[in-house]
Amino acid sequence: MRTHYEFTLPVPAAAAWRLLADADRALGWVPGAEITGIGARSCSGSLKLRVRSTSATYRGAAQLVTNDEAAGVLAAQLEGSQIRGAGTLKADVEITVGSANSSGSVVSITAEFAVTGPVTDNGGAAVEGAVDRLLARFASNVRSAVEEGAAEGLEQPDAGALPPVPEAQPGPAPAPAPTPPAPPDDELAGTAGPEPVGDADDQSAFATYGGRTRRAPLPTVARAMAAAAAVAGLVAAARRLRRR
């Protein structure tokens, strides 16, 4: 059987190559894989493959066949035996890395594989679909690592320079409210409040303005009434004298 999967990364091809050529890191993103040893051109471990409701774990080794950075090609051969059962797994995997645009890259994975054991009871199409999902999850893991910055030393794309945030400048201090000038005494008398309850001889009339309190003179009407009463008293006295 043969399958092909392709995905893009938001980093240049050279950075994507260094990432995928690092076997210790790249093999950790293969779903279902457990690596027990890594050498210069080989590694050992196991791979769990699930097809529908059936799963099988194969233990074996992978041998690096091609490592051509100039051409952007990695190739390896995998071979393993089922841990519990008589099934086998053999695969030839080739990875190519190329430029997608000025700041990105495209990764293509081609796999030719042969699987035996209980997982094949679900049919060849089901096995091929399971391998496709495995490659898709691998691509997702690689992409997440790049986007989250987990892959050290990768050249991240330029997100664009953001405009600087201006620093907050202290505004001018508010001017104090002007204090109105004190009005003359006659105006103060006109603004006097209600007279206090009690004896008028003991209480004084007060007017307030701008927080200040001043004694206000008696209203003009009161003075006029007092004068009129005095005149009336004099007239009455004069009449009594005439009657005598």
Q: What is residue 27's predicted lDDT score, i.e. its pLDDT?
A: 92
Query: For residue 110, is pLDDT > 80?
Result: yes
Grouping H, G, I as helix, E, B as strand and the rest as coil, residue 25 is helix
Q: What is residue 223's predicted lDDT score, i.e. its pLDDT?
A: 54
Helix 124-147 / helix 13-21 crossing angle, nearest 10 deg: 110
Per DSSP (E only), the strands in the chain are 2-9, 33-38, 42-51, 54-68, 73-82, 88-99, 105-115, 206-209, 212-215
The full 3-state SS of 217-244, as one line of letters, equals CCCHHHHHHHHHHHHHHHHHHHHHHHHC
Mean pLDDT (the chain) is: 76
Q: Tokens 């490592």, residue?
A: 67
User: What's the CA gap between 113 and 128, in Å, rounded?
Assistant: 9
- Confidence class for position 208, pLDDT limits 50, 70, 90: very low
Give tens-digit pLDDT for 29-72. Answer: 999 999 999 998 999 999 999 999 999 999 999 999 999 999 99
Query: For residue 81, is pLDDT > 60?
Result: yes
User: What's the CA gap between 95 and 22, in Å, rounded?
Assistant: 13
> Residues 101-110: what's their mean pLDDT?
92
Burial of 142 (0-12, 13-18, 19+ CB in 10 A): buried
Sorted by where each begins, the domain ranges of the chain are 2-147, 185-243
Q: What is residue 95's predicted lDDT score, i.e. its pLDDT?
A: 97
Q: Which pair of tokens denotes residue 53?
A: 């409701």
Q: Which pair of tokens denotes residue 13?
A: 């091809």
pTM of the model: 0.61
Q: Beta strand 212-215 with 105-115: parallel, antiparallel or unpaired?
A: unpaired
Q: What is residue 70's predicted lDDT score, i.e. its pLDDT?
A: 95
Query: For residue 193, is pLDDT > 90?
Result: no
200 phi, psi to nearest 5 deg: -65, -25
Q: What superfamily in CATH does domain 2-147 come from?
A: START domain (3.30.530.20)
Contact criterion met (CB below 8 Å) for 78 and 65: no
